């Protein structure tokens, strides 16, 4: 990195695209949970809402279309981004005109549609930044993208709760839909990547070859195991955070939104700088292992908060640590995923790997709701700590192969 000139314009585009990618996630996740929670819906039903995120798991099924076909404007990556972002804006607007008590099914279906377009946007953004980022900038690229992503989740999650408490849910969702324009601006001003390798020329090649190429590699299955398990405990602990703070501890929407917005923003921005700096200086494996340990510290703080109860100081400390450490872990996992992609099939392979990483986040919600109902909040977070361990073991197992990836990138 010492002899490389960092392209800050490109990194800023990644920051904005990260914001556009992160914004819909809370609108179909924690913010939607808060909407249903304040409407008096049961905790088991709220837990089942995570199933609307299934498009994030299955997105690799239509990712080959984004590798194979090129829109007639802006190029293969930016053209698809522009189309998808417009569709995303319209679907969030439609979602705003609903009521959980009277239209729970309709809202769930619209949330599923938002998740579909959001997952499709992720395919295009991930492929774009993987192709546009030099190997030596992958750590910084992931940090900036992850930072924008988490800032957006704070806006749609933290600011969204504040706005909902002040002006209502419909107006809040309409405001959030307008913020997708930030992604449209980034897409317009970004530069289409120039590839050294040609994209697939047939749909068959776009569908079959990416999977065959990846699975033919040594330790391919081991890497898939790492990607599944690395964020598993994190996903379990965070699956019901909003109901935990509202119903479990009794914090108000405005309190949660205000603290999450301010403290989360500080934590995320600190994580961008610190995580990027650490990934430049440490090996990819050491960064992943260190951040994995720190993610467990964030879960431990949630467990302590559950034991202590409603405490504003502890709430601030816990949310800061959560945003700081989990953001760093996400950025490192993204850097690993980028390193595993072949540029022939960037969209499909990244979609496959990130979809696998999303399995826990999407399907753990119903299980989490049942766990909380039978075990209580402290024991729930204790089990979240336990399920972090297999991810670190799997990571240690492939440590030498990760070292090989780092050398190839260098």
pTM, entire model: 0.67
What is the DSSP-derived secondary structure letter of residue 398? T
Torsions phi, psi for 180 (to 5 deg): -60, -20
Cα–Cα distances (Å) from 320 to 146, 256, 270, 311, in that order, read 16, 13, 10, 14
Whether the predicted pLDDT of 3 surpasses 60: no
184 part of a folded domain: yes
**Residue 190 pLDDT:** 84
Q: What's the average model confidence in pLDDT over 236-248?
A: 80
Percent of the chain with pLDDT over 70: 90
**Residue 410 pLDDT:** 37
- Residue 129's nearest CA partner among 36, 7, 211, 230 is 7
223 part of a folded domain: yes
The boundaries of the domain holding residue 171 are 8-409
Cα–Cα distances (Å) from 307 to 63, 264, 303, 378, in that order, read 44, 22, 6, 6
Count how many domains the chain has: 1
**Under a CB-based contact definition with an 8 Å cutoff, are residues 154 and 146 in contact?**
no
324 part of a folded domain: yes
CA 24, CA 8: separation in Å to the nearest integer?
26
Q: What's the average model confidence in pLDDT over 154-180?
A: 88
Model confidence band, residue 407 (pLDDT cutoffs 50, 70, 90)? very low
State the CB neighbour count (10 A cutoff) for residue 250. Answer: 10
354 part of a folded domain: yes
Task: Give residue-wise pLDDT tens across range 350-379.
Answer: 777 877 777 666 667 677 877 888 888 889
3 part of a folded domain: no
2 part of a folded domain: no
* CATH number of residue 23's parent domain: 1.20.1250.20
CA 66, CA 71: separation in Å to the nearest integer?
9
* Mean pLDDT of the residues in the chain: 81
Contacts of 42 (CB under 8 A, 6+ apart): none
Between 320 and 30, residue with greater pLDDT: 320
């Amino acid at each position: 990195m010492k002899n490389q000139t960092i392209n800050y314009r490109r990194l800023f585009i990644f920051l904005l695209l990260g914001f556009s990618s992160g914004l819909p996630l809370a609108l179909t996740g924690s913010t939607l949970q808060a909407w249903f929670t304040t409407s008096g819906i049961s905790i088991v039903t709220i837990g089942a809402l995570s199933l609307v995120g299934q498009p994030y798991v299955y997105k690799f099924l239509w990712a080959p279309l984004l590798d194979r076909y090129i829109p007639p404007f802006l190029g293969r990556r930016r053209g698809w981004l522009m189309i998808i972002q417009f569709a995303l804006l319209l679907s969030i607007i439609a979602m705003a005109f609903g009521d959980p008590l009277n239209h729970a099914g309709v809202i769930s279906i619209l949330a599923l549609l938002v998740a579909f377009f959001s997952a499709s946007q992720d395919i295009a953004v991930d492929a774009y930044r993987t192709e546009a980022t030099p190997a030596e900038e992958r750590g910084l690229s992931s940090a900036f993208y992850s930072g924008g992503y988490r800032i957006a989740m704070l806006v749609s999650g933290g600011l969204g709760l504040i706005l909902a408490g002040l002006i209502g849910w419909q107006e809040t969702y309409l405001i959030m839909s307008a913020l997708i324009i930030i992604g449209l601006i980034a897409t317009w001003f970004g530069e289409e990547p120039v590839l050294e390798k040609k994209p697939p020329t047939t749909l068959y090649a776009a569908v079959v070859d990416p999977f065959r190429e990846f699975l033919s590699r040594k330790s391919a299955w081991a890497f898939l195991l790492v990607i599944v398990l690395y964020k598993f405990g994190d996903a379990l602990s965070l699956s019901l955070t909003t109901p935990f703070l509202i119903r479990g501890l009794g914090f108000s929407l405005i309190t949660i939104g205000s603290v999450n917005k301010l403290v989360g923003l500080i934590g995320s921005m600190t994580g961008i700088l610190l995580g990027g700096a650490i990934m430049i200086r440490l090996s990819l494996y050491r960064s992943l292992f260190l951040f994995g340990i720190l993610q467990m510290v964030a879960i431990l703080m949630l467990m302590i908060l559950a034991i202590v109860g409603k405490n504003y100081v502890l709430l601030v400390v816990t949310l800061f640590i959560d945003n700081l450490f989990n953001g760093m872990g996400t950025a490192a996992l993204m850097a690993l995923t980028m390193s595993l992609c072949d540029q022939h099939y960037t969209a499909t392979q990244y979609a496959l790997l990130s979809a696998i990483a999303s399995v826990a986040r999407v399907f753990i919600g119903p299980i989490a709701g049942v766990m909380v109902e039978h075990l209580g909040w402290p024991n729930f977070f204790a089990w979240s700590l336990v399920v972090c361990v297999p991810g670190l073991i799997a990571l240690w197992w492939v440590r030498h192969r990760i070292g090989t990836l780092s050398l190839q990138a260098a």
